[in-house]
Amino acid sequence: MEFPIFKTKTQGTKRNFNLNNPKEREKYFNFKAGREIKKLRNYFRKGNTFVAYLLGKKNSGKGTYSKMFSEVIGPERIDHFSIGDMIRGVDKELKDRKKKKELVEFLGKNYRGWSSVKELISLLEKRSTKTLLPTELILVLVKREIGKRKKKTVFVDGFPRDLDQINFALFFRDLIGYRDDSDFFVLINVPESIIDERIKYRVVCPTCQTSRNLKLLPTSKVGYDSKRKEFYLLCDNPKCQETRMVRKEGDAAGIKPIKDRLKKDEKLINQALSLCGIPKVLLRNSVPKKMASNFVDDYEITPEYYYEWDDKKKKVVVREKPLVVLDDAGEPSYSLLPPPVVVSLIKQITDVLDL
């Protein structure tokens, strides 16, 4: 099944927005999806929630899209939840004697499966990044996490992670006590060439963990390190006071080390696409170049950014040009900035919830 191209182009009044600027982004969302945003806020205000399972290849933007969605609709009622972060949290608990004891007690009371609690703890402690944890263990840990979040809407990122877990996802809301609320899949389609660029140029804020990209998604402030002759981004989250964002080790290799994982993710997405009975929101990141002008506004397309240092004015000059990549079918394509993808997310969720 193909991921349809979502039309975010507006007819009539021409307006331009700088989507990297948080204030303009807010105006943009109200301009393009104001009605739907109101409906969703109203839905949450009445105490309704939903569970959305984010499925996309590694680095497809799951976190970016769901966090931006909650930023627009109301962060106090929506949580983003990643299985990876949860497991890292458990790793930390295991190093603290008191917390480890609590975890052992929790598992003793709540876990049902084929391993003893002792075996589970040993599995967690000796785990390498390749070890797959039993689905029953993941489930009970997810249940615990959601319990901490009371009755909030949750975007679950990283579950299901394997084909056998898809079946569990279908009954997930029953398992966690969300019985009356909606749940649906959010499937994300991004060309691997884009994922490659995202990894190669990504930077992270050490304070708030926000992820950006030197080439594709800069912040509003760029700095220049004259000693190392390199440009860097400054986090524009007001709480971070312009923390310098940093690169992660190993990112220079791009998608090479994760090829197998990407293949597995693709299988998983195809499996989810063929499911009946559960609603699906389909997010598409790329638009074939030849069709772009009918579907999106120019400023919604990801440009490629590059920088120059103006030695006279002592400041960084930000320049941009259109970024064209080949999608997975070999078609020259543009990549969309996160906001138009989030507009399609907002509108499709409104439809799924029948608002």
**Residues in touch with Zn ion (CB under 5 A):** 205, 207-208, 210, 235, 237, 240
Torsion of CA 221, 226, 232, 233, to 10 degrees: -20
Residue with tokens 């600027």: 21
The distance of closest approach from Cβ of residue 246 to Zn ion in the complex, given in angstroms and rounded to an integer, is: 11
The distance of closest approach from Cβ of residue 58 to Zn ion in the complex, given in angstroms and rounded to an integer, is: 22
Q: In terms of CB distance, is 245 or 255 closer to Zn ion?
A: 245
The distance of closest approach from Cβ of residue 106 to Zn ion in the complex, given in angstroms and rounded to an integer, is: 32
Q: In terms of CB distance, is 207 or 271 closer to Zn ion?
A: 207
Query: 268 and 262 in contact (C-beta within 8 Å)?
Result: no
Query: 79 and 149 in contact (C-beta within 8 Å)?
Result: yes
The distance of closest approach from Cβ of residue 22 to Zn ion in the complex, given in angstroms and rounded to an integer, is: 13
Nearest Cα to 83, choosing from 11, 31, 136, 157?
157
Residue with tokens 């609590």: 102
Please give the helix or strand (H or E) that residue 124 lies within, else none. Answer: helix 117-125
Q: In terms of CB distance, is 160 or 218 closer to Zn ion?
A: 218
The distance of closest approach from Cβ of residue 17 to Zn ion in the complex, given in angstroms and rounded to an integer, is: 23
User: Three-state DSSP class for 256?
Assistant: helix
Q: In terms of CB distance, is 32 or 202 closer to Zn ion?
A: 202
Q: In terms of CB distance, is 115 or 237 closer to Zn ion?
A: 237
The CA angle 302-307-311, to the nearest 5 degrees, is 160
Which residues neighbour 337 within 8 Å (Cβ) at sequence distance 6 or greater?
19, 217, 300, 301, 302
Query: 208 and 239 in contact (C-beta within 8 Å)?
Result: yes
Q: In terms of CB distance, is 115 or 207 closer to Zn ion?
A: 207
The distance of closest approach from Cβ of residue 212 to Zn ion in the complex, given in angstroms and rounded to an integer, is: 9
Query: 62 and 211 in contact (C-beta within 8 Å)?
Result: no
Q: In terms of CB distance, is 163 or 208 closer to Zn ion?
A: 208
The distance of closest approach from Cβ of residue 315 to Zn ion in the complex, given in angstroms and rounded to an integer, is: 22
Nearest Cα to 337, choosing from 16, 10, 18, 11?
18
